[in-house]
Structure 1
Amino acid sequence: MKRIVIFLLIITGLYIVLNHTFQFDGFVFGGSKNGRATLSKTIDTIEINVGSVRTTIIPEDRNDVEAVLTGKGSLIVKETGNSIVVETKRKMFNWFSFSEKRQLKIYVPEDFNRDMNIQIGSGSLNFSGQSMKLSHLSLDIGSGNVKIDHLEVNEFTHDGSSGNVEIDTLITKTGTFDLSSGNLDINHFTGALEADVSSGKFSVQMDKLNDSIDIDLSSGDVNLDLPDDADFNLKDKVSSGNISSDFPLTTKGTDNNNLKGTHGSGKHEINVSVSSGDVKIF
């Protein structure tokens, strides 16, 4: 039995070492600190996979994707199928070093209007997309801090395990947010909103309500800041927790923890389901 346990531990150890050193690109000793890939007409997605690094995405007038890494580790920029992939790697046995400060700058064409997928294991990300109009932006956060401002995208999806996300001015047809924990703060949001909050704090401020809102809260806090002239029909269901609304509601009624009410013409549906936690609408 002991031999089997030792054998399994050896196999696990070898897997960890190989997974952090061999990644089909050889050993990560030293490695490349910069890379570039031309954005051809066949490229429909920019994939960014980073961790333990301060990352800045910079749109500018160019026809390629360029990345420059400062600090330990290495960088890969390559074309794979219909995607350009930007990925950081750590030196062997350095993935446990959290104190080192690495910086990554990613330069992308400002007229790129297709898809971008961003995955952050840890660290930080700053992205000002004021000059960009994307088809789809996917943001997957393990931990860390993210700041995004002035972005227009047809479809925005967010999946956050923890960390802090600040978004200022997001215009989208549909925004989908899945928050396991951490903090997500959005200002000047426009579009349909779907939010599934397991834990943490989710705050969103809208300049204009022009589509539906669906919020499912398991635990935590949700703050929904709507314009004073918002036209909506509110339907709430509470198992445990609390929902409050600062808006004067007509046809208001409660039945088995359901709260119903209309403000203005009631044009847009707002559905809020609370298993536990607090929701404030104001």
Structure 2
Amino acid sequence: MKRILILLLVITGLYIVFNQSNVLDVFRGNGIKNDEAAITNNTEVIKVDVGSVSTTIIPEDRKNLRAEYEGKQKLTVKENGDEVEVRLKSKWFNWFNWGSQKSNLKIYIPEDYDQDMWIDLGSGNLNFSGASKNKPMKLEKLTLDIGSGNMNLRNLEVKELYQDVSSGNVNMNSIKTEKGIFDVSSGNLDIDHYSGGITADVSSGRLAVQVEQLTDSIKMDISSGLVDLDLPDDADFTLNGEVSSGKISCDLPLEDKVQNREMIHGKHGSGKHTINLDVSSGIININ
């Protein structure tokens, strides 16, 4: 009994010490942490790993990466060969803090950085935008992994775009890519003003894509999901749709159209780009 009492007193004492130290940090102005790393011609990838924090990535006229964080997690910005990584990690004593915490992270990157980026978001919010639609942020490869968080992306031109959405919400606007690969599971992905090819796997989620310019093929596998595919009236494509206990509808006129409960085939315009759809217990609407 005495050992249990001593243990409780020790735990209580640790809570008081760390809680009071955090309070003093706020009064001393030590709640904001800064760190930075050089971005050089040898930097091939910027990695951003954040959890439940509100994060904004801001391209601007600068030569290095700078991170400004307000919160109680540990901020690390480090260079490792050709990589620069920004990471937030909970301190071991954070479980003592039962109250709500205000946490936000701003990451400033060079606007002329044009290599790879990798972003891992948990249950937080993340915003990343280029200057404008006519002056987008240009990257070689952008890889996005979203848990139950919310992500907003705008004004990006990426050669390769990879996105994995699990029970989260993603809004994208003015996105241009050569190859876009999307994996949506129990989440929502809305894309407006999109140009490029699409490969998508949708399971129990929702994908809505407004294609501004069809420049490559589209391939989608749908299982218990919902897809809205908005194509331009002058798109040139050949549609090949296979259905198993699901549905594909197409509002655009098709030449040589053949349709029944298990398939839909036809051509719109010159038929240059292929659209291959495989639907199982899901719905695809093309308009």
Tell me if TM exceeds 0.5.
yes
Cα distance change of structure 1 residues 97 and 210 upon mapping to structure 2, 3 Å threshold: farther
Does the CA-based 8 Å contact 1:71-1:102 persist in structure 2? yes
What residue in structure 1 maps to residue 48 of structure 2?
48
Alignment partner of 1:228: what SS?
coil
1:53 maps to amino acid: V
Q: Match of 2:40, as an amino acid? A: S
Any idea what the Cα deviations from partners look like across 1:147-192, whole Å, max 9, x if unmatched? Answer: 0000001100001112100000100000000111110000000011
Q: Which residue of 196, 214, 224 corresponds with 1:219?
A: 224
Q: How does 1:71-82 map to 2 (within 5 A)?
A: 71-82=71-82
User: Aligned residue for 2:172?
Assistant: 167
Q: Distance in 2 between matches of 1:32 and 1:49?
A: 18
Aligned-residue Cα RMSD (Å) equals 1.7
**Contact 2:142 2:162 (C-alpha < 8 Å) held by counterparts:** yes
Q: Which residue is equivalent to 2:12?
A: none
- The residue number in structure 1 matching 2:208 is 203
Amino acid in structure 1 at the alignment position of 2:244: S
Report the number of matched residues: 253
Displacement of 1:100 after TM fit? 2.0
Report the secondary structure of 1:33's partner residue: strand
Identity level (%): 54
Aligned to 1:110: 111
Shift of 1:97: 5.7
- Measured against aligned partners, the alpha-carbon deviations of 1:177-226 in whole angstroms (never above 9, x if no partner) come to 01111100000000111101112110000111121111110111000000
8 Å Cα contact 1:146/1:166 also seen in 2: yes
- Counterparts of 1:90-101 in structure 2, within 5 Å, are 90-94=90-94, 99-101=100-102
Alignment of 1:14-33 (within 5 A): 33=33
Distance 1:97 1:42 in 2: 43
CA distance in 2, matches of 1:152, 1:238: 33
Contact 1:174 1:191 in 2 (8 A): yes
**Alpha carbons of structure 1 residues 81 and 32: separation in structure 2 relative to 1, 3 Å:** farther
Gaps of 5+ in 2: 1-29
Q: Structure 1 residues 98 and 207, CA, compared in 2 at 3 Å: closer, same or farther?
A: farther
Question: Conserved in 2, the CA contact under 8 Å of 1:113 and 1:134?
Answer: yes
Q: CA deviation at 1:32?
A: 8.0
Question: Rg: which structure is higher?
Answer: 2
Match for 1:249: what amino acid? L
> TM-score by structure 1 length?
0.86
The worse-fitting range, judged by mean Cα deviation, of 227-236 and 94-103 is: 94-103
Match of 2:163 among 155, 158, 172: 158
Distance in 1 (CA, whole Å) between partners of 2:153 and 2:99 is 24
- Contact conserved, 1:134 with 1:152, CA < 8 A, in 2? yes
CA distance in 1, matches of 2:107, 2:86: 8
1:91 CA displacement: 2.6
Q: Which residue of 1 aligns with 2:126?
A: 125
1:136 — aligned with what?
Answer: 141
- Give me the whole-angstrom Cα distance separating, in 2, the residues matched to 1:167 and 1:246: 24
Instruction: State the AA in 2 paired with 1:40.
Output: T
Asked if the contact 2:74–2:90 (Cα under 8 Å) also holds between the matched residues in 1, the reply is: yes
**How big is each residue's C-alpha offset from its partner over 1:9-61, in whole Å with a ceiling of 9 and x where there is no partner?**
xxxxxxxxxxxxxxxxxxxxx99821100112221100000011000000001
